[in-house]
Amino acid sequence: MTKRRASLAAATMLALFTAAGCHKKAAPPPPPPAPPATAPAAAKPTISYFAAEPDSVNSGQPSQLRWSVNDATSVEIDNGIGTVSPNGRRAVYPTATTTYTLTATNSGGSSTAAVTITVTSAPPPAAPAAPTQSVAEILARQVQDLHFDYDKSDVRPEDQPILQADATALKTIFGMDAGFVVTIEGHCDERGSAEYNLGLGDRRASAVKDALVQLGLPADKLKTISYGKERPLCTDAAEECYARNRRAHFSTGQ
C-alpha cells in the first residue's frame, strides 16, 4: 500500500516537474530524455469510485450512478450517457441487466471502470418508448448538476460540455411544455459561513442562468434560488463531499 503510494507520488512529482518545464519560455538545453521505464507512465486519470446504488433493480426502476475522477480531461459513460463532469451522479432506468463503463482520459492515457446493474424482473409489457418521458423526467434524467471551485461562482471550463448538454435538454423541455419553469438551485459546501454562502449560492445559480441565457434559453423560464449550505447532499468532512455539495442543481419551479 505504502509502496504503491510512494511510487504514485514519485510519478506525480515527475509529471509536475515535466509540466513545469513546459511552461518555461526558452530553456536552452533541452531536458534530458526521461528514463524510459518510469517517465511516460505520466499519471493516467484516477477513478476514485464508480458505483451504482442500488446495483439491483426491477425493470425501469431508477438506480443512481455515482462517480469521482481525478486528473481527467474528459470523462465518458457508455450506454448513451455521454460526456459527464469528473464528479457527478446520474439516475438510470435500465430495463435489462446493463454494464456501464466509465472512461476517463487525459494526455497520459485513459482509465476505465465498470459497474453492472442487475435487472431482476422481466420488463413490463412494452409501452411506446418515446412519448412516455414527461418534462419532469427529462429534467431529472438529462439535466446534470454543474460543479464549482471553493468560493467561486463561475462555470468551470471542464463543465462546458455539461452546460451545453443541459441547454439542449432544457430546450427540449421548453419545446414540449411552454409553461414549464425550471428553478436553478445554488448550493455550497459546509466550510464557509452560512451567511456568506447564501450570497455565494445565489451567485452560482445566477451564473448558470446567465450562461444558459447566452446559449439561447429564455430568462423568464429560469428561476434562481440559493440554499447556501442548508441542503447538502452529503455531510462528510472530506473534499470529495465538499466538491459534490458545491453545485447548481435543476428542479421544477413554480
Partner 1 sequence: MQIRRLITFAALLLCGRQWLAAGQQIEGRIEKNPGKPFVAVTDFRASGAAAAFVAAFNTTVAADLAGSPVINFVPKTLYPIQPPQQPSDLIAGVAPPARGAVTIDPKRISDWSLPPVSTNFLGIGYAAESNGQFVVFGWFYSTAPTIATLQQAQVFGKVYTATLNESGAVDAGHRYAADILAQFGGKSLVGTHIVFVSDRSGSKEIWVMNWDGTEQRQLTRFGSISTFPSASPDGHAVAFTSYANGSPNIYMLSLDTGRKLPFYNQRASMNAFISFTPDSKRVVFSSTAAAGPAQLYLANANGSDLRRITSSGAIEVEAKINPKTGNDMVVVSGRSGMPQIYRMNLEGADVSRLTAGTGEATNPSWSPDGSHIAFAWTKGFEPGNYNIFLMDVASQQTTQLTANEGRNENPSWAPDGAHLVYASKRGRQSQIWVMNADGTGKRALTQSGSNEKPVWVNAAQ
Apex CA 22: angle with CA 21 and CA 27, to 5°?
A: 65
Identified binder of partner 1 from the candidate list 85, 144, 224, 245, rule CB under 8 A: 224
Nearest-angstrom CA–CA distance, 187 and 176: 28
For the CB of residue 149, give the shortest distance to partner 1 in the complex, in Å: 12
User: Rule CB under 8 A: which of 161-220 touch partner 1?
Assistant: 190-196, 198-200, 202-203, 205-206
Of 90 and 249, which CB lies nearer to partner 1 in the complex structure? 249
- Regarding 59 and contact with partner 1 (CB under 8 A), the answer is no
Among 106, 226, 244, 246, binds partner 1 (CB under 8 A): 226
**Distance, C-alpha 72 to centroid of its chain:** 12
Binding status of residue 252 toward partner 1 by CB under 8 A: no
| Distance between CA atoms of residues 51 and 64, nearest Å | 8
Give the up-direction half-sphere exposure of residue 62: CA atoms within 13 A in the CB hemisphere.
Answer: 9
Residue with Cβ nearer partner 1 (76 or 190):
190
Q: Which of 9, 109, 122, 150 binds partner 1 (CB under 8 A)?
A: 150
Q: How many residues bind partner 1 (CB under 8 A)?
A: 24
Q: Which amino acid is at 99?
A: T
Q: How far is the CB of 157 from partner 1 (least distance, A)?
A: 21
Nearer to partner 1 among residue 129 and residue 238 (C-beta): 238
Q: Say if residues 111 and 61 touch (Cβ distance below 8 Å).
A: no
Name which of 152 and 175 has its Cβ closer to partner 1.
Answer: 152
Contact status: 245 vs partner 1 (CB under 8 A): no
| Apex 34 CA angle, 29 and 38, nearest 5 | 165
Give me the residues that bind partner 1 (CB under 8 A), please: 150-151, 190-196, 198-200, 202-203, 205-206, 224-227, 230, 235, 237, 254
